[in-house]
Amino acid sequence: MSTASAASSSSSSSAGEMIEAPSQVLNFEEIDYKEIEVEEVVGRGAFGVVCKAKWRAKDVAIKQIESESERKAFIVELRQLSRVNHPNIVKLYGACLNPF
């Protein structure tokens, strides 16, 4: 299973739709993975792989999650990032919660 999110340091966003995660509703856009152009892997960690990518002509970072336990932690992270608006923290545009 894989899951991805797209984020950028830009302050503009087309987000706003509601998507449902297990027992939660999150306030950001559900991204169609076909819209993401992965360019290169920039890091690997305990919670997945981070890649540089393009989404709707924007430079973004995506995180790919590969296990169900990581997916649950990822949902918590998405919920936290969706509430943050700070110039030194990447802006969450959305997530692709379905396997691709």
63 is an annotated ligand-binding site residue: yes
Q: Rounded to whole angstroms, how far apart are CA atoms 28 and 17?
A: 5
3-state SS assignment for residue 41 = strand
Give the side-chain half-sphere CA count within 13 A for 56: 12
Give the residue ranges of the annotated binding site: 63
Give the residue ranges of the annotated binding site for ATP: 63
